[in-house]
């Protein structure tokens, strides 16, 4: 390639120079794709995933932030032409959501999003504050792989507590007047999963079991890989000191990943689902 470029330069062949530059750029893109594939080679990276979002302390502010994050991941999913649906959701009293679980179906969905687990921090002028003061809000994101039938996860009936309740979300009159929603607690690990997106209690229980299987599988993966971060403690403290990424809308505009130091001054694009640069940066920096 260097010889061709040198020859084209000597002959002042602009058409050939442009062709060489185009080929170099194409090679760079291919090399980057191959690098990313190397970082998406773990056992469950190719799987679909569940994304669980919880609002931190702060009432309406944090609940609105959790809703913004939910929208961001669903937009990202739509941009990639992945399928997504809300499995369970608890609305805030005034606005936003207290918690939500969405399922994303697409090639390497878990591999792409696995490093999004952690605390996300938002700084902005509050739309809910009549004094137009600046507020800091926190929400947690936890990503788990969907486990298929080829992976055996042993779940004993005696270890489960199954509760049914009336759905609080959308879904029509039938959903809201019958105990169709299901919550399953895995007693040994204290893992809780819930689903309310279907009118059928049986289907909601089936989805709950899929989620529980995913959570237990992820729990075992973390033990096997001996991760140094205690996620259980992080979940108890959704606030300062634990954030993996900051989204600042005021007094300046910046989104910065605190692990890779990757940043952008266009938070609007990020909040509209354009997070590939952050995902790639975390793959290179956290798995290299």
pLDDT score for 114:
94
174 has a pLDDT exceeding 50? no
pLDDT score for 198:
87
Q: Where are the beta strands (DSSP E) in the chain?
A: 49-55, 83-91, 97-105, 118-125, 134-145, 160-165, 181-186, 191-195, 243-248, 254-257, 263-264
In the predicted model, what is the mean pLDDT of residues 86-97? 93
Q: Which tens digits make up the pLDDT trace of 198-237?
A: 889 999 999 999 999 999 988 887 776 654 444 545 454 5
267 has a pLDDT exceeding 60? yes
Q: Which of 20-34, 63-77, 123-137 ranks highest by mean pLDDT? A: 63-77
At residue 212, the 3 state secondary structure works out as helix
User: Chain-centre distance of CA 262, in angstroms?
Assistant: 17
pLDDT score for 38:
74
71 has a pLDDT exceeding 50? yes
Q: CA dist 240 to 118, 147, 185, 252, Å?
A: 12, 33, 29, 20
- Bridging pattern class, strands 118-125 and 243-248: parallel
Q: Which tens digits make up the pLDDT trace of 247-257?
A: 999 999 999 99
> Pick the residue with more confidence: 168 or 280?
280
pLDDT score for 104:
97
15 has a pLDDT exceeding 90? no
Residue 27 and residue 5 in contact, taking contact as beta carbons nearer than 8 Å: no
> Pick the residue with more confidence: 152 or 49?
49
Note if the bond before 30 is cis, omega within 30 degrees.
Answer: no
122 has a pLDDT exceeding 60? yes
| Cα angle, residue 237 at apex, residues 283 and 229 outer, rounded to 5° | 40
| pTM over cut 0.85 | no
């Amino acid at each position: 390639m260097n010889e061709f470029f040198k020859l084209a330069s000597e002959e002042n062949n602009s058409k050939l120079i442009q062709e060489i530059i185009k080929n170099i750029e194409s090679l760079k893109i291919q090399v980057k794709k191959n690098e990313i594939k190397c970082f998406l080679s773990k056992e469950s990276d190719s799987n679909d995933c569940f994304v669980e979002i919880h609002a931190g302390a702060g009432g309406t502010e944090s609940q609105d932030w959790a809703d913004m994050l939910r929208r961001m991941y669903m937009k990202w999913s739509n941009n990639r032409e992945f399928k997504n649906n809300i499995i369970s959701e608890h609305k805030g009293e005034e606005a936003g959501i207290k918690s939500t679980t969405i399922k994303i179906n697409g090639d390497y969905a878990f591999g792409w999003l696995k490093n999004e687990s952690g605390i996300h921090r938002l700084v902005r002028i509050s739309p809910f504050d009549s004094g137009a003061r600046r507020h800091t809000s926190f929400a947690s994101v936890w990503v788990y792989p969907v486990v298929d039938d080829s992976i055996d996860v042993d779940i004993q009936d005696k270890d489960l507590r199954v509760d049914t309740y009336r759905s609080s979300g959308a879904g029509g009159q039938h959903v809201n007047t019958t105990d169709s929603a299901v919550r399953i607690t895995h007693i040994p690990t204290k893992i809780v999963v819930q689903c309310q997106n279907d009118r059928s209690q049986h289907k909601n229980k089936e989805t709950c079991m899929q989620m529980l299987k995913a959570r237990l599988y992820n729990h075992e993966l973390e033990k096997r890989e001996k991760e140094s971060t205690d996620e259980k403690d992080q979940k108890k403290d959704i606030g300062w000191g634990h954030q993996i990424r900051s989204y600042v809308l005021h007094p300046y505009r910046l989104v910065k990943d605190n692990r890779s130091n990757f940043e952008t001054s266009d938070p609007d694009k990020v909040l509209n689902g354009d997070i590939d640069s952050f995902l790639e940066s975390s793959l290179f920096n956290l798995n290299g």
